[in-house]
Amino acid sequence: MSEKSWKEVPIGGLIVEPGNSKNYKTGSWRSFKPVWYEDRCIQCLACWNSCPEPSIFVVEGKVTGIDYDFCKGCGICAEVCPEKAHAIEMEPEF
């Protein structure tokens, strides 16, 4: 977050934008990253439903990718992905 002068801070120090935590990227916490393979995905949405962030992109009921801005790399998505699909794999970040 860029620094603000006291004149720019809302009165009372209020936070005026709901859900502004989306400006704080937690993706740098990650040491392992999930990689999603579209061809193997059966679109069960189990990963989205189990992600604590949530950092799985879902557009019109379909998974379209992983939001690396916020993913903390816990690996739950790869764990809950059905065995027969195995569409998410964890890979080292560095």
Partner 1 sequence: MASLKELAAREQKLAPGHRACAGCIPALTFHQVLRSAPGHVVASCATGCIEVVTTIYPYTAWKIPFIHNAFENSAATISGVEAAYQALKRKGKVTKDIKFIGFGGDGGTYDIGLQSLSGAMERGHDMLYVCYDNEAYMNTGIQRSSATPFAADTKTAPVGKVRKGKKQYPKNLTEIIIAHDVAYAAQASPSFWRDLNKKVEKALSIEGPAFINVLAPCPPGWRFPTEMGIEMGKLAVDTCFWPLYEFENHKRKLTYKPKEKLPLSEWTKHQGRFRHLHQEENKHLLELAQQEVDRRWKELLFLCGEPA
Task: Single out the residue of 5, 19, 37, 65 in contact with partner 1 (rule: CB under 8 A).
Answer: 19
Task: Give every CB contact of residue 50 below 8 A, 6+ residues apart in sequence.
Answer: 76, 77, 80
Nearest to 78 by CA among 22, 30, 23: 30
What's CA 57's distance to the chain center, in Å? 8
Task: Single out the residue of 5, 6, 7, 13 in contact with partner 1 (rule: CB under 8 A).
Answer: 13
Q: Determine, following the binding rule CB under 8 A, whether residue 68 of this chain makes contact with partner 1.
A: no
- List contacts with partner 1 (CB under 8 A): 1, 13, 15, 18-26, 29-30, 44-46, 48-55, 58, 60-61, 67, 69-70, 72-76, 78-80, 90
